[in-house]
Amino acid sequence: MAEFDTISELEEEEEEAAATTEEHLRRYAPDPVLVRGAGHITVFGLSNKFDTEFPSVLTGKVAPEEFKTSMGRVNACLKKSLPVNVKWLLCGCLCCCCTLGCSLWPVICLNKRTRRSIQKLLEWENNRLYHKLALHWKLTKRKCETSNMMEYVIIIEFLPKYPIFRPD
């Protein structure tokens, strides 16, 4: 029984060492790249398109064509769903007094569905290409620089490279 306890103690020490190593690797990774919304319409923090300009920080990490293709896919998803959201928002605002705010629920649900579809698209892009290039794309909510409002931005994080030649 004592031998079994020592094995579990060793496993806990290995897990702590692995967590420390991962934290150390993330600390020295470059700062993430933010891609902000560049559209003229924003519904609940989600802009109608994202900036397709290639960030200079990604030079040598990913091809500009791949970046523009990925951003084009995200913008196409937004272009398809956001006009419907705006129409529902206008109808919801007109009927808001009569329905005690319940007329805004369709807009909230449609906006959540749009965010989920973008997150699934980014996850597909990560699995297809960007994880192989040690990058990770995700959609997150951030505070605007100019006001107290919240906005959704695409964050491109640099994944740490693990030393594969280091002994276990």
Q: Tens digits of per-residue pLDDT, 35-90? A: 988 888 888 888 889 989 999 999 989 999 999 999 999 999 998 988 787 787 77
**Cα–Cα–Cα angle for 29, 30, 33, rounded to 5 degrees:** 130
Question: What is residue 16's predicted lDDT score, i.e. its pLDDT?
Answer: 56
pLDDT digits (tens, 9 = 90+) for 90-105: 788 777 777 777 777 7
Name the least confident of 20-34, 53-67, 105-119.
20-34
Name the least confident of 4-8, 78-82, 127-131, 146-150.
4-8
Question: What is residue 26's predicted lDDT score, i.e. its pLDDT?
Answer: 55
Question: What is residue 15's predicted lDDT score, i.e. its pLDDT?
Answer: 57
Of the candidates 67, 65, 50, the residue with the CA atom closest to the CA atom of residue 118? 50
Summarize the confidence of residues 102-130 as an average pLDDT: 89
pTM across the whole model: 0.74
Of the candidates 78, 73, 69, 70, the residue with the CA atom closest to the CA atom of residue 49? 78
Q: How far apart are CA 99 and CA 93, in angstroms?
A: 10
Question: Residue 33 in contact with residue 57, Cβ under 8 Å?
Answer: yes
Query: Residue length, the chain?
Result: 168
Flag whether pLDDT at 10 surpasses 60.
no
Question: What is residue 122's predicted lDDT score, i.e. its pLDDT?
Answer: 96
Question: What is residue 149's predicted lDDT score, i.e. its pLDDT?
Answer: 87
User: Hey, which residues does 158 pair with through a beta bridge?
Assistant: 135
